[in-house]
């Protein structure tokens, strides 16, 4: 049975049982505790916590959720049961059925025949585990399901008490295992051997809320959840391995084709060597996870989600090279995994080019890094052998890992080829120290879910009616007042308060558009609204300050949007859509929005793209955008179903979860069609001019365009025009000739500076003969310490020091020079060959001098440089240096 069919059977089983089928959420959600969605229940957290009522008719739901867990990336492939990306099939009950219902639903699907829509698993090979004191679940398994008591085992908190690892919902669980047979391990059930007995389903009886950890396997229980809930998860990949009769999750229809492609590319053979097999599995697993992350809008970067993606892609490249690949590989791997995953995720088809572009760009960048890292390894290995040692430093191996992305296995292989061993213990010590720092940093940043329970009553029973698409004012009733997270009944002058209204014309921040500004007015009372935020996508929270008067719960007010603010914000938001459309015309469909910010008169637009834009491309984007403005294109909004919107070609944002009904913003027919809930102008001419300020990098594979719109654009362009006019007048040249004239002047200036520098060096060279005469004998050495005139650069200091050292050749000479350059004091120490033979190390003398001038530096025994910030200490430093040489 193919994986796609396994997914379909699961969904249909629970839909027939009255559950609402919910599409998978993006891997990226706005959750402070998670980089990625790591469990099927994550999108349903507000319902489990009682912050919102579930919007499902029967209070039950089912989903096949995309998940990524990356805590043990280095262990991937070593075991054959775990993937970094996996699909968690789940059924959920929010206060409806509990233990008996969950267990019965799972058992029926697993054991029903293929003809009846089930998976047809042999019930005699199924085992169950329950939490230590969960007599109720054990009794259901034995009395209701008929599972023999000997196939029901009780396990502790580490195995059978579920939580997310952070504050949130939790509860005991019951897990279902499949006995794969004696060839896979010893008898005795999952308590004895969880390799032979493969866990395939986890039934969580969610009834508690946990707090912060109090130990490795303990945490504070904050209390009961509002309702007893069910959260179950069936591992799609594991069930696929069983139903397809393969040995592990890497040999199913989704991942085995990648392994086959890797065999063809590398020439290595899967299944003949344990080490090679791990590399094959890393390639398969990481190719799929990397592809799915890129699909959901992640791009490689040096931190956060982007760092995880970068690490995954680079591990693929390294593994392929260790297996024998010599060229680029990611494009082929991505093509295969996209083919296998598209039946379950049709959106892959529309993103193939972008996914490939991101992956290939990262591979090429890494191959360049790999080359420089190999050079670093060669230098370190040569140095190691030069000292007669046979062990490559663990610290050096860590540097290769941390700076150049070398895994320890690559370093081990290269070291073996060089006839060296590696200090693995030293490497692991450095890695442990880094992990400890990262863990401490992560814990410092991590916090529990935001407590939004104070808003729950309004979210569920009194969602805000937004009328701001057509009205800028509205009469409203105050349904709630919140101060410092607590519901209150009154606000006085000077108070900062959150106001909940039954009706609001004010736009709540979302989709990159900032919330409206405005006022709430009633008899003798004025509130300035400085921000509007959404809670649960249904409730508008108006953050305001009471300017005068007072406010009571239940009062009527007039809500007024700041018309100037709204006008500027709509201009910027619609301009963002035009720039997005222009980008795709110029750069192609792989330039996809990755984020935006719109405020009155200004916009920034982030997009996934791997190359810097040329001035010509930027100019063309600005031209297309302003041509659209000049064409006075109609801006239409259409409310329709998500399926219909996709058929229209409407673009959606990554990481955004849309409901069944969506709002489409269409500008000029096919020119721009996007899903968007923001406010917009009625026609493009109302935007006014759009001034594109430039573009920049915001991370690997991500670029940003910034622009002004409306009057802000006019003011900016007027200022630029005035500047150009003034410059043209000063240079006595037409404005169109300014670039050439400025280039000519710049060239002349460079030539003059070069000539001055040459004259300066000639003057310094002329002084060296006289400077040699100032050298004095200090113990065994001929020493020259001298402060040159201010303004001599570090490079010129090296030139003079090299000349003077040459003039002292044949005797143990030491030259020490310095010169103030602005706020810095560059200095240099040079030693002749004879001085070095007597034990002089210029680097040590630089460090000595640094202590007197608040500086730092280093170098080789015969020449070292530094820079300080305290010129007043130079004479004392010269004296200390002479004293040091005198004592040798």
Which CATH number fits the domain that encloses residue 511? Answer: 2.40.30.130
Q: Are residues 585 and 548 in the same domain?
A: no
Does 734 map to a domain?
A: no
pLDDT at 81: 74
| CATH number, position 681 | 3.30.980.10
pLDDT tens-digit profile of 342-398?
999 999 998 899 899 999 988 988 888 777 788 888 888 888 888 888 899 988 888
Instruction: Kindly state the tokens that stand for 766.
Output: 């002329």
Looking at the whole model, is its pTM more than 0.75? no
Q: Are residues 419 and 479 in the same domain?
A: no
Annotate 591-632 with DSSP letters as a single string.
-EEEEEEEETTEEEEEEE-SSPPPHHHHHHHHHHHHHHHHTT
As a whole number of angstroms, the distance between CA 529 and CA 498 comes to 9
Q: Are residues 545 and 575 in the same domain?
A: no
Percent of the chain with pLDDT over 70: 95
Residue 665 near residue 674, CB atoms below 8 Å = yes
Helix (H) or strand (E) segment spanning residue 863: strand 863-868
pLDDT at 14: 97
Q: Are residues 275 and 395 in the same domain?
A: yes
| CATH number, position 814 | 3.10.310.40
Q: Are residues 245 and 261 in the same domain?
A: no
| CATH number, position 201 | 3.30.930.10
The radius of gyration computed from the CA coordinates of the chain, to the nearest angstrom, equals 34
Instruction: Determine if residue 573 is labeled as part of a ligand binding site.
Output: yes
Residues whose CB is less than 8 angstroms from the CB of residue 788 and which lie 6 or more positions away in sequence, other chains included: 764, 797, 800, 817, 818, 819
Does 351 map to a domain?
A: yes
Among the listed residues 703, 677, 665, 507, the one whose alpha carbon sits nearest the alpha carbon of residue 578: 665
Residue 172 near residue 131, CB atoms below 8 Å = yes
Q: Are residues 244 and 279 in the same domain?
A: no
Does 167 map to a domain?
A: yes
Q: Are residues 405 and 552 in the same domain?
A: no
Q: Based on the structure, what is the number of domains in the chain? A: 5
Instruction: Determine if residue 4 is labeled as part of a ligand binding site.
Output: no
Q: How many residues does the chain have?
A: 888
Instruction: Kindly state the tokens that stand for 33.
Output: 């505790």
pLDDT at 53: 82
> Of 561, 594, 612, at which residue does a domain stop?
561
Q: What is the 3-state secondary structure (H, E, C) of 139-198?
A: HHHHHHHCCCHHHEEEECHHHHEECCCCCEEEEEEEEEEEECCHHHCCCCCCCCCCCCEE
> Of 561, 590, 624, at which residue does a domain stop?
561
Q: Are residues 95 and 183 in the same domain?
A: yes
Q: Please state, as a whole number, how many other Cβ atoms lie within 10 Å of the Cβ of residue 880.
A: 16
Give the CA dihedral 757, 759, 765, 770, nearest 10 degrees: -120
pLDDT at 409: 66
pLDDT at 440: 57
> Of 396, 423, 445, at which residue does a domain stop?
445
As a whole number of angstroms, the distance between CA 49 and CA 454 comes to 12
pLDDT at 445: 39
Give residue 711's domain range.
Answer: 566-717
**In 198-351, alpha helices (H):** 236-243, 256-266, 274-295, 304-323, 330-341
Does 729 map to a domain?
A: no
Ranges of residues in the chain whose predicted pLDDT is under 50? 442-450
Instruction: Determine if residue 375 is labeled as part of a ligand binding site.
Output: no
Q: Are residues 104 and 132 in the same domain?
A: yes
Instruction: Determine if residue 105 is labeled as part of a ligand binding site.
Output: no
Does 749 map to a domain?
A: no
The backbone region for 59, taken as left when phi is positive above 0, alpha when psi lies in -120 to 50, beta otherwise, is left
Annotate 33-63 with DSSP letters as a single string.
T-SS--STTGGGHHHHTTSS----TTSEEEE
Does 743 map to a domain?
A: no
Q: Are residues 706 and 821 in the same domain?
A: no
Does 282 map to a domain?
A: yes
Q: Are residues 415 and 481 in the same domain?
A: no
Q: Are residues 606 and 553 in the same domain?
A: no
């Amino acid at each position: 049975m193919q994986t796609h069919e396994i997914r379909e059977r699961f969904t249909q089983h629970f839909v027939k049982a009255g559950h609402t089928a919910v599409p998978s959420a993006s891997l990226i959600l706005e959750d402070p505790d998670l980089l990625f969605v790591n469990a099927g229940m994550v999108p349903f957290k507000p319902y489990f916590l009682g912050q919102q009522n579930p919007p499902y008719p029967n209070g039950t739901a089912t989903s096949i959720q995309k998940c990524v867990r990356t805590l043990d990336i280095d262990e991937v492939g070593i075991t054959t049961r775990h993937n970094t990306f996996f699909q968690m099939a789940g059924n959920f009950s929010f206060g409806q059925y509990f233990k008996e219902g969950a267990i019965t639903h799972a058992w029926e699907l697993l054991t029903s025949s293929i003809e009846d829509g089930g998976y047809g698993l042999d019930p005699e090979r199924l085992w169950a585990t329950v939490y230590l004191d969960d007599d109720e679940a054990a009794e259901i398994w034995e009395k209701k399901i008929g599972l023999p008591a000997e196939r029901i085992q009780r396990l502790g908190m580490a195995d059978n008490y579920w939580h997310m690892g952070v504050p949130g919902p939790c509860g005991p669980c019951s897990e279902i295992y499949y006995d794969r047979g004696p060839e896979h391990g010893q008898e005795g059930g999952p308590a004895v051997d969880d390799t032979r007995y493969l866990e395939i389903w986890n039934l969580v009886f969610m009834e508690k809320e946990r707090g912060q950890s109090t130990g490795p396997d303990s945490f504070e229980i904050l209390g009961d959840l509002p309702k007893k809930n069910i959260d179950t998860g069936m591992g799609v990949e594991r069930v696929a391995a069983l139903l397809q009769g393969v040995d592990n999750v890497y040999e199913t229809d989704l991942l085995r084709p990648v392994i086959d492609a890797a065999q063809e590319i590398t020439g290595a053979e899967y299944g003949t060597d344990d080490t090679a097999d791990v590399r094959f599995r890393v390639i398969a697993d990481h190719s799929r996870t990397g592809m799915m992350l890129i699909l959901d809008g992640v791009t490689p970067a040096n931190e956060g989600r982007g760092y995880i993606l970068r690490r995954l892609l680079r591990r693929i490249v390294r593994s392929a090279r260790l297996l024998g690949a010599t060229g680029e590989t990611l494009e082929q791997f991505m093509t295969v995994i996209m083919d296998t995953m598209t039946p379950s995720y049709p959106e892959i088809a529309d993103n193939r080019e972008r996914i490939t572009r991101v992956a290939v760009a990262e591979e090429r960048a890494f191959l360049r890094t790999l080359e420089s890292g190999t050079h670093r390894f060669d230098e370190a290995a040569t140095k190691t052998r030069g000292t007669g040692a046979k062990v490559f430093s663990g610290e050096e191996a860590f540097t290769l890992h941390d700076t150049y992305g070398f895994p320890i296995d690559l370093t081990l292989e290269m070291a073996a080829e060089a006839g060296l061993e590696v200090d693995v213990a030293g490497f692991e010590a450095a890695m442990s120290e880094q992990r400890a720092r990262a863990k401490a940093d992560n814990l410092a940043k991590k916090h529990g879910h935001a407590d939004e329970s104070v808003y729950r009553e309004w979210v569920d029973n009194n969602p805000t009616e937004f009328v701001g698409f057509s009205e800028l004012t509205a009469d409203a009733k105050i349904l709630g007042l919140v101060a410092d997270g607590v519901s209150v009944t009154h606000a006085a002058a000077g108070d900062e308060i959150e106001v909940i209204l039954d009706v609001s014309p004010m736009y709540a921040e979302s989709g990159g558009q900032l919330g409206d500004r405005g006022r709430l007015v009633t008899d003798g009372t004025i509130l300035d609204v400085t921000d509007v935020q959404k809670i649960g996508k249904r409730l508008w929270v108006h953050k305001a300050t009471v300017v005068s008067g007072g406010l009571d719960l239940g009062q009527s007010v007039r809500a007024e949007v700041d018309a100037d603010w709204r006008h500027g914000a709509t201009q910027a938001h619609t301009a963002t859509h035009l720039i997005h459309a222009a980008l795709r015309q110029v750069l192609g469909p792989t330039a996809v929005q990755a984020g935006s910010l719109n405020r009155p008169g200004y916009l920034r637009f982030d997009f996934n793209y791997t190359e810097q834009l040329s001035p010509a491309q930027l100019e063309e984007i600005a031209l297309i955008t302003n041509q659209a403005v000049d064409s006075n294109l109609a801006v239409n909004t259409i409310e329709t179903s998500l399926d219909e919107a996709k058929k229209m070609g409407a673009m959606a944002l990554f990481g955004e979860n849309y409901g069944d009904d969506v709002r489409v913003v269409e500008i000029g027919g096919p020119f721009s069609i996007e899903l968007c809930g923001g406010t917009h102008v009625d026609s493009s001419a109302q935007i006014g001019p759009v001034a594109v300020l430039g573009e920049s990098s915001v991370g690997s594979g991500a670029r940003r365009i910034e622009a002004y719109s409306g009057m802000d654009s006019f003011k900016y362009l007027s200022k630029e025009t005035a500047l150009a006019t003034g410059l043209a007048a000063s240079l006595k040249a037409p404005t169109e000739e300014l670039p050439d004239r400025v280039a000519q002047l710049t060239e002349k200036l460079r030539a003059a500076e070069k000539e001055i520098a040459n004259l300066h060096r000639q003057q310094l060279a002329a002084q060296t003969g006289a400077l040699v005469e100032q050298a004095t004998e200090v113990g065994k050495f001929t020493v020259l310490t001298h402060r040159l005139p201010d303004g001599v650069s570090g490079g010129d200091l090296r030139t003079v020091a090299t000349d003077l050292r040459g003039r002292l050749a044949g005797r143990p000479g030491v030259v020490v020079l310095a010169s103030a350059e602005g706020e810095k004091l560059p200095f240099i120490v040079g030693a002749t060959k004879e001085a070095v033979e007597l034990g002089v190390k210029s680097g040590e003398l630089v460090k000595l001098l640094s202590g007197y001038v608040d500086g730092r530096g280093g170098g080789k025994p015969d020449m070292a440089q530094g820079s300080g910030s305290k010129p007043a200490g130079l004479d004392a430093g010269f004296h200390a240096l002479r004293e040091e040489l005198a004592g040798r």
